[in-house]
Amino acid sequence: MPELAEVEYYRKQWNPGLGGTVAKVHTHPAARIFREAPARAVERGLAGRRFLASHAHGKQMLFEFSGGAWLGLHLGMSGELGVAPARHESGKHEHLVLALDSLSLVFSDYRMFGKLSLDLVEDGQPPLWWRELPPQPLDSRFTKAWVRGFVRRFPKTPLKTLLLDQRGFPGIGNWMADEICWQLRLPPQRPAGSLDDAALDGLWKTTRHVSREAMRTVGTDWGDLPDSWLMNHRWRDGGTCPRRGCRSGLVREDLRGRTTCWCLRCQT
């Protein structure tokens, strides 16, 4: 599932169309991605408008069009953005294609957990739901005090589960949450309320560090994360903890519905 950095990577894939005008909108109206914004409304709402800018926030994206039209996109499990030639025939999973003069902007999603929204606003501001999103990890408003305040609201929640809560850690998904717990040497099951101030400051710092590295590599050009991280070892059966001096076998188990990977020796 796309997380902070993957979303940032996909956001940029539509950049070649910036400044172009939407000549035609092609949709698959029955596709589940239109469950909140009907396909016909999206077609009518975007036709004839210029593509002006794009923004990412956590796992969400917002595309700005002239005349106050804002297209929100969430990639869900398998959504992808890309471009295609101007006269592009929609593929089976390409549920939204914006045909510009010079190229087509494509949103494909074969599992259709992705979704979109369309806001038409007059005041030139992004829609209210966007402006009210919580601070993301690399935002200056994502402070130690903010993290402490958020975590203290959920003392019984396991640390890993809390990291997946988009109200507190927007953009953090399954692999980043496991990575943060591993780098902190804390068990993912640890109740958040058992962390003292120093541990919470560590949580703030490590969340920012993992986010920054992910943005620098994956978010830039889908580059590789450091091999010294858990991420590159967690997918292999019988994977081994990459921490120098440890090299224990990694454990993989379900935690509140999410596959979770950790090291029994380092994370105590």
Let me know if 258 is a catalytic residue.
yes
If binding is defined by CB under 5 A, does position 186 make contact with Zn ion?
no
By CB under 5 A, residue 71 contacts Zn ion = no
* Choices 28-36, 61-69, 210-218, 245-253; region in contact with Zn ion by CB under 5 A: 245-253
- In angstroms, what is the minimal distance from the CB of 263 to Zn ion? 3
Please, where are the H alpha helices in the chain? 4-12, 39-46, 128-131, 144-152, 159-163, 174-184, 197-221
Tell me the β-bridge partners of 94: 108
59 catalytic, yes or no? yes
- Among the listed ranges 22-30, 93-101, 168-176, 244-252, the one in contact with Zn ion (CB under 5 A) is 244-252
Minimum Å gap between C-beta 225 and Zn ion is 17
Binding mask 146-185 for Zn ion (x = CB under 5 A): ----------------------------------------
* Contacts of 165-170 spanning 24+ positions with Cβ under 8 A: 166/58, 166/59, 166/134, 167/134, 168/134, 169/137, 169/207, 170/4, 170/57, 170/58, 170/59, 170/60, 170/133, 170/134, 170/135, 170/136, 170/137
Annotated active-site residue in 11, 59, 190, 234: 59
Torsion of CA 152, 156, 160, 166, to 10 degrees: -60
Please identify, among the stretches 29-37, 128-136, 138-146, 247-255, the one whose residues bind Zn ion according to the rule CB under 5 A: 247-255
Q: Alpha carbon of 74 to those of 59, 217, 264: distances in Å?
A: 7, 21, 35
Q: Which of 202, 243, 260, 261 binds Zn ion (CB under 5 A)?
A: 243
Least Cβ distance, residue 169 to Zn ion (angstroms): 23
Cβ closer to Zn ion: 218 or 261?
Answer: 261
Binding mask 200-239 for Zn ion (x = CB under 5 A): ----------------------------------------
Among residue numbers 248 through 267, which ones bind Zn ion (CB under 5 A)?
248, 263, 265-266
Q: From its phi and psi, is residue 230 left (phi > 0), alpha (psi between -120 and 50) or beta?
A: alpha
Contacts of residue 257, defined as CB under 8 A and 6 or more positions apart, other chains included, come to: none
**CB 135, CB 141: distance < 8 Å:** yes
CB of 237 to Zn ion, least distance (A): 17
Catalytic residues, by residue number, are 2-3, 59, 258
- For Zn ion, the binding residues (CB under 5 A) are 241, 243, 246, 248, 263, 265-266
